[in-house]
Amino acid sequence: MHFINFIRRVQFNLVLVFFVVELEEHIHLLKKSVPGWLETHYIRKTNYLKLSKNADMGPVIRKLEALAAEKNER
């Protein structure tokens, strides 16, 4: 394998790994910020996300918008 091809493959894999890690961090922040709305279940060596069917989405959206606005102000 040519060195440049190796670098491209490693670069692609690292970007993908960092993206997955960042996404997992965001999901954990969502769960922490708006409890009861989003759940994770570990089934057969895989994590699944479950949105609460009973949650009123109005307060959830307002809370997430407020958190996003607060983050943008910093």
Q: Domain residues of the chain, as ranges?
A: 3-73
Q: Tens of pLDDT along 9-68?
A: 777 777 777 677 777 887 888 888 888 888 888 888 887 888 888 888 888 889 889 988
CB 39 within 8 A of CB 50: yes
Query: Alpha helix (H) ranges present in 1-74?
Result: 3-33, 57-73
Closest by CA to 70, choosing from 41, 29, 42, is 29
pLDDT of 4: 65
